[in-house]
Structure 1
């Protein structure tokens, strides 16, 4: 575990979804490739920078960047959820250790929230499929906010639903966007390296700690002056 300063935390833990609690990378990329091949005639994204965009931003923000034609943008949006569900049904599961950690947090009366750029229909299906929905007290999804991550609106909305102040919470995520979201909301943050981003960029983005395993994450959430 790499610690970059600041004190530990507890009270509420706000998790990113894709790449943090659930392993959905392949299903997401397969859905993007299916939809763009059908609508645009070419598979996208291919380059790592573009892959990083689709793994951390709302589809409603990405679709318009692919075409100036509103009909094409709408076609991409309409086709995406069915394409994702075809791949997710077989390929999206919680990371090993994720469910155990959520159960432990619930048992310790630590509020659990999700801050995701995913549409609610896709998030809900993932949560039910992974048997995690009953462990999450509040979730803010793509269509619930005007401005997506890294704007703090979604994270602050979850905190309001949970009734927990920012200084008693931590944001956990696998991308630079997640860390920036936490910082913008005044929430301490932990970066995880099992998703899409190595430790270096997460530290540079301002993560208070970076962990490599769920055991390290559990330890970070269990110690220090803000622990329950």
Structure 2
């Protein structure tokens, strides 16, 4: 983990998939269904983690340039609709959210997951009360970060964006907030390290320990 200036975190903006919730296996199955449906080769987990990126349409444009966004989305949900019920919280996620509430840190969700899907998962996993506000269905999170800060009166210097993909780190940089990469989701350590996050941790338990250590200074 990088060290540096004290974090002084009052607000947390969390990605959902791969940061709070574990949907990687289901997304891989749904993605391979789309690829095979339209004549492309399926991906192994390692290949998927190496090549998948957000915004998701760019990933598909590189492989299926002639397939419409509507057809891609329809094929994806043919599988993902059933996979949603298998999504669970990642280890340490609930404890981290409860820790944030106990420390009066406001938690916001910033995710590309469709609003209906996010709301269903958050309700089933019983974490809605631990989240101040959610922003779901974002095609490009970089286009939303300024609005999230403005609408909620968040000071960038008091805000930490936590995510598992390079796109999350780019979003944090775009909004002028500090970034934390977690290794529980889609992008591997090497990809995340190249994006130069302010912090890089194995999981939310390690981030919690870092925040607790800041409190004790």
TM-score normalised according to structure 2 size = 0.85
Per-residue deviation, 1:52 = 4.5
RMSD: 2.6
TM-score normalised according to structure 1 size = 0.81
Return the match for 1:174 from 146, 151, 164: 164
Please give the alpha-carbon distance, in whole angstroms, between the structure 2 residues aligned to 1:215 and 1:73: 37
**Gaps in structure 1 of 5+ consecutive residues:** none
Counterpart residue number, 1:135? 130
Please give the alpha-carbon distance, in whole angstroms, between the structure 1 residues aligned to 2:193 and 2:59: 26
Could you tell me whether the CA contact under 8 Å between 1:67 and 1:73 is conserved in 2? no
Per-residue deviation, 1:104 = 1.8
Counterpart residue number, 2:150? 160
Moved more, 108-117 or 213-222: 213-222
**Gaps in structure 2 of 5+ consecutive residues:** none
Counterpart residue number, 2:70? 74
Number of residues of Structure 1 aligned to a counterpart in Structure 2: 216
Could you tell me whether the CA contact under 8 Å between 1:116 and 1:141 is conserved in 2? yes
Please give the alpha-carbon distance, in whole angstroms, between the structure 1 residues aligned to 2:157 and 2:62: 36
Could you tell me whether the CA contact under 8 Å between 2:92 and 2:204 is conserved in 1? yes
Report whether the alignment pairs 1:208 with 2:203.
Answer: no
Counterpart residue number, 2:26? 27
Per-residue deviation, 1:185 = 1.1
